[in-house]
Amino acid sequence: MGKRVAICAVAQIKNEGDLWYARFQNMLKECFESIMGQTGVTFDMEKGIRNVITCSDDVFDARTISDNGMTDVVGAHFRGEEKMAQESINGLGYAMACILSGHDDVILYMGHCKESQTESRRMNMNLAFDPFYCRPLGMDFINVNAMQARAYMKKSGVRDEHLAKVVLRSRANAKKNPFARENAAVSEKDVLNSPMLADPIRELHYYPVTDWAYGMLLCCEERVKEFTDNPVWISGYGSSIDSYFLGDRDLLSNFSLKNAAERAYKMAGVKDPKKEIGVFELCDHSAYQMPMWAEGLGIADEGAGGKWIDGGGMEKFNVNTSGGMLNGNPLLLGGAARAIECFHQLSAEAGERQVKGVKKALAHGTYGAAGQHQAVVIMEKGR
């Protein structure tokens, strides 16, 4: 294709358990002002932002057309504004399409979610299921993920001890991330004794309720110098969705993740992800997903997730230096959080978490029950 899309700047607030004292408009405004300050971008109709993409969810916001509550804050009046009501990582894919198609030069991309607003996020998740066959049974992402976890752990030799390791590592990495949710320190014993939510998923195996917002500025290759000297490039994007009904899917196949990864690798010209990609940021809603997604992306051998953890796979491939979704990002926004960590790593701004010499990074997002939808973005160091 020859053309590339640049991420010029990113901004985020700290992930928090309960931002009850901040409206989501406030949360977004902090990010918005940071982006404007970092890049000097304007809303000039010729040269500035003419299209804004936002990511939010009607059910979490408890209002229809959740994006209409923040169009003024993100400067969308008299401009194009499109909402990504799916995993935020697809907003990057969409921004990329807007720019590569020549439709837009500059895209502001913002997202928010306050999981703490709802009395029970599980009830929200229940609404993702059809009202005839699934909702009445009480299906939600946690109990459906639990069935995938059971099957996967058996297939790939992943034990409770492995999951404890994933949780401990997530918390340790998050400690080094100033934007990560501050969670209580836990020991291996704490995780192993954590109460079951839905067997075999324990409470500490699932990401905690989190509030967060972010912003990014993307632009075309030709104009990147106007906004930054240190861009990060998006060179590949792939997205895939598996069948809707659980019974129609092979929960162990990683069907949609393999599909998404294959497309992203191909677009970015990645032949061997193990060698070429220096940082992997995975959306692990639950601890079992860390080795499972690693298999799907090709950095762990098929059916060998347990061994991969034992063999130091998470360290070797620099997986989830941010702490990952498991440490706490809101639903929908995990992919954006992953991309922002990749941006910091590729810009050599990751502080204590910095991986040396990273040239390419992979950001992953997943949404739906048992990883039904998967998307992968490949990002590269600027020049």
Partner 1 sequence: MSLEYDKKDCFIVDGKLALPYTYFAGRVGSKFITTIRDQKKIMGVKCNTCGKVFVPPRQTCERCLEDIRNNWVDVGNTGEVVNFTVVRYNDGHLPRKAPYVLALVKLDGADTPFAHVLDGLKPEEVEIGMKVEAVFANETTSTILDIDHFAPSRKKKVQVSDRAPAEKAPAAAKTKHQPELDERRKAMSKKVVITAALTGAATMKTQNPAVPYTPQEFAEEAYKCYKAGAAMVHMHAREDTGMATHEHARIKATHDAIKDRCPELIVNLSSAVGMGKTPEQRISQIVHIKPEMASLNTNTMNFSIVDRKTGKIFIDFVFENTFTMLQDFGKAMEENGVKPEIEVYDMGGLDNTLLVMKQGFFTDPMNFNFVWGVAGGQAFRPDAFLCLKNAIPAGANFTTCGVGTDQFQAITMSCLVGGHMRVGLEDNIRIPTGEMAKGSYEQVEWAVRIAECQGREPATPDEAREIMGLKKR
Q: Which of the stretches 13-21, 85-93, 183-191, 372-380 binds partner 1 when contact is defined by CB under 8 A? A: 13-21
Binding residues among 113-142 for partner 1 as defined by CB under 8 A: 120, 122-123, 126, 131-140
**Of 197, 221, 100, 68, residue with least CA distance to 141:** 197
Q: x/- site string to partner 1, residues 192 to 231, per CB under 8 A?
A: ---xxxxxxx------------------------------
Alpha-carbon span 206 to 367, nearest angstrom: 14
CB 287, min distance to partner 1, A? 15
- Of all helices (H) and strands (E), which one includes residue 166? helix 160-175
Q: Strand pairing partners for 215? A: 11, 110
CB 116, min distance to partner 1, A? 11
For residues 29 and 381, which CB has a smaller minimum distance to partner 1 in the complex? 29
Sign of the CA dihedral running 9, 13, 14, 15:
negative
From 10, 166, 251, 361, residue interacting with partner 1 (rule: CB under 8 A): 251
68: Cβ–Cβ under 8 A, 6 or more apart, which residues? none
Site size for partner 1 (CB under 8 A): 48
Residue 253 interacting with partner 1 (CB under 8 A): no
For residues 138 and 269, which CB has a smaller minimum distance to partner 1 in the complex? 138
Residue 19 interacting with partner 1 (CB under 8 A): yes
Contacts of the segment 128-136: beta carbons below 8 A, 24+ positions apart: 128/368, 128/369, 129/369, 130/244, 133/245, 134/245, 134/246
CB 330, min distance to partner 1, A? 15
For residues 94 and 141, which CB has a smaller minimum distance to partner 1 in the complex? 141
For residue 248, give both structure tokens. Answer: 């129609």
Judge whether 125 and 142 are in contact, CB under 8 Å: yes
Interior angle at CA 25, CA 54 and CA 69, nearest 5: 65
Q: Which of the stretches 23-31, 79-87, 102-110, 339-347 binds partner 1 when contact is defined by CB under 8 A? A: 23-31
From 146, 166, 209, 332, residue interacting with partner 1 (rule: CB under 8 A): 146
Binding residues among 32-71 for partner 1 as defined by CB under 8 A: 34, 59, 62
DSSP states of 44-96 as a string? -TTTS--EEEEE--HHHHTSSSGGGGSTTTTT-TTSEEEEE-S-THHHHHHHH
Where on the chain is the footprint of partner 1 (CB under 8 A)? 11-14, 16, 19-22, 26-27, 30, 34, 59, 62, 120, 122-123, 126, 131-140, 143-144, 146-147, 150-151, 195-201, 243, 245-248, 251
